[in-house]
Amino acid sequence: MESSIIQNIEFTNQRISKACIKSGRNPNDVKLLLASKTVSAENIKLAFLQGQTLIGENKVQELKEKYDALCEISHITHFIGHLQSNKIKEVLKYTQCIQSVDRIDLVQKLDQQLQLEGRQQEIMLQINTSAESSKFGANPSEAIAFAKVVSQYDTLKVTGLMTIGIFKAPEQEIRKCFKLLRNIQLEINALDLPNFNLKELSMGMSNDLEIAIEEGATIVRVGTAIFGTRIYPNSYYWNEKIITK
């Protein structure tokens, strides 16, 4: 297990570098985020010892469970899961950025909590570029209007956009999702909204990171390719209807 995680990180970094070179980009401009849901703190630490510093978690429960063990080693945690309003306080406590902000009522409640705490928070907007109902994220056609609303909250500093590409689809379909996110980024940046500076495009996972990098990803979120297959299917994390607890 140990050696395979280390090898998998090396291999993933090679994939990132190759994709960057292919598209004329600097490999330093793409960050690897370890999607660490279901992964033990011990195995995450192995990755930290390999120089990794950025993880993404989907569940508050896991953030809490791993916190003590992981806080010994300096790192950054992003929240990439579906955020329920009643979990806001805890997610704010354990993460430095919330990538999955996808609706106005969540924005309002984040703002309320941040006002109480007297501070600001880095967030990204999640856009549902594949238009699959099973995935969370704001509708692409409403992204601009959504961004305009979010920009009115000074507690929220919006640094990027996040999406999950379509699964098991022809390459051009996957590419379309990433192109769409990039176009939305350009459109929003052109508006020069307050509290917005969209530098990050968080897109690309184990199966499609090369395509995402070719289309401008600055953060790729990789789980399976580094830590192996998970016991829960993706629907456990992505589809509210299937989440039972």
Ligand X SMILES: *Cc1c(COP(=O)(O)O)cnc(C)c1O
Residues that bind ligand X (CB under 6 A): 35, 37, 58, 80, 164, 205-207, 221-225, 237
Give the Cα separation of 127 and 102 in Å (integer): 7
Considering beta carbons, is residue 120 or 232 the nearer one to ligand X? Answer: 232
Considering beta carbons, is residue 129 or 206 the nearer one to ligand X? Answer: 206
Give the Cα separation of 179 and 199 in Å (integer): 15
Least Cα distance to 202 among 84, 111, 78 occurs for: 78
User: Closest separation between CB of residue 230 and ligand X, Å?
Assistant: 7
Considering beta carbons, is residue 111 or 167 the nearer one to ligand X? Answer: 167
Contact 217, 203 (CB under 8 A): yes
Identity at 203, one-letter amino acid code: M
User: Closest separation between CB of residue 229 and ligand X, Å?
Assistant: 8
DSSP secondary structure, 112-165, as one string: HHHHHHT--EEEEEEB-TT--TTS-SB-GGGHHHHHHHHTT-TTEEEEEEE--P
Task: Extract long-range pairs of 172-176: CB within 8 Å, 24+ residues apart.
Answer: 174/208, 174/211, 175/211, 175/214, 175/215, 176/129
Residue with tokens 């507690």: 155
User: Closest separation between CB of residue 98 and ligand X, Å?
Assistant: 12
Residue facing ligand X at closest CB distance: 223
User: Closest separation between CB of residue 68 and ligand X, Å?
Assistant: 23
Considering beta carbons, is residue 25 or 82 the nearer one to ligand X? Answer: 82
User: Closest separation between CB of residue 164 and ligand X, Å?
Assistant: 6
Considering beta carbons, is residue 113 or 207 the nearer one to ligand X? Answer: 207
DSSP structure class, residue 81: S
User: Closest separation between CB of residue 56 and ligand X, Å?
Assistant: 7
Considering beta carbons, is residue 8 or 155 the nearer one to ligand X? Answer: 8
